[in-house]
Amino acid sequence: MNKKFTKYLKGDTVIWIIFFTLCGFSILELYSASSTLAYSMGNHAAPIFQHVFFLLTGAALAFAIHFVPYKYIRILAYLGIVVSFILLLYLLAKGESINSASRWIKIFGIQFQPSEIAKLSLIVVVADLISRIRANPALENKYFYWILGISGVIIGLILFENFSTAFILGVIVFSMMFIGQVSFKKLGIIIASILFLILLGVVIVKTVPKEKMPDMFERVYTWEKRISRTQQETNETRYVINDENLQVQHGRIAVARGGFFGVYPGNSIERDYLPHAYDDFIFAIIIEELGLFGGILIMLLYLWLLFRTGQIATVCRSTFPAMLVTGLGLLITLQAAVNMFVGSGFGLVTGQPLPLISRGGTSIMITSVYFGIILGVIREIKSTEEKRFKQQNPVVEDLEKSDALTLKIDDI
Structure confidence by residue, pLDDT tens digits, 313-346: 998 889 999 999 999 999 999 999 999 988 887 7
Per residue in 28-45, pLDDT (tens digit) is: 888 887 777 776 676 677
Residue 310, burial from CB neighbour count under 10 angstroms (0-12, 13-18, 19+): middle
How far is C-alpha 263 from the geometric centre of its chain's CA atoms? 29
pLDDT digits (tens, 9 = 90+) for 199-256: 887 787 777 776 666 655 666 666 666 666 665 666 556 666 766 677 788 888 888 8
Structural domain for 23, as ranges = 3-409
Residues whose CB is less than 8 angstroms from the CB of residue 349 and which lie 6 or more positions away in sequence, other chains included = 226, 247, 248, 280, 342
pLDDT for residue 401: 47
Q: Per-residue pLDDT for 16 more than 80?
A: yes
| Cross-strand partners of 104 | 96
- Give the per-residue pLDDT at 110: 63
Q: Is the per-residue pLDDT at 272 higher than 50?
A: yes
Measure the CA–CA gap between 307 and 330, rounded to whole angstroms.
Answer: 10
CB 78 within 8 A of CB 202: no
Query: 91 falls in which pLDDT band (50, 70, 90)?
Result: confident
Q: State the total domains in the chain.
A: 1
Name the percent of the chain in helix, strand, coil, to the closest 5. 75, 5, 25
Q: Is the pLDDT of residue 300 over 90?
A: yes
H helix intervals, 163-279: 163-179, 184-207, 218-231, 246-258
Angle at 11 between CA 127 and CA 121, to 5 degrees: 25
Find residue 107's DSSP bridge partners. Answer: 110
Pairing of strands 101-107, 96-98: antiparallel
pLDDT tens, residue by residue, 343-385: 887 777 777 889 999 988 888 999 999 999 999 999 988 887 7
Residue 406, pLDDT score = 47
pLDDT in tens, 165-199: 899 999 999 999 999 988 888 899 889 988 888 88
240-268 pLDDT, tens digit each: 676 667 778 888 888 888 888 888 888 88
pTM: 0.86
Sign of CA dihedral 321, 326, 329, 335: negative
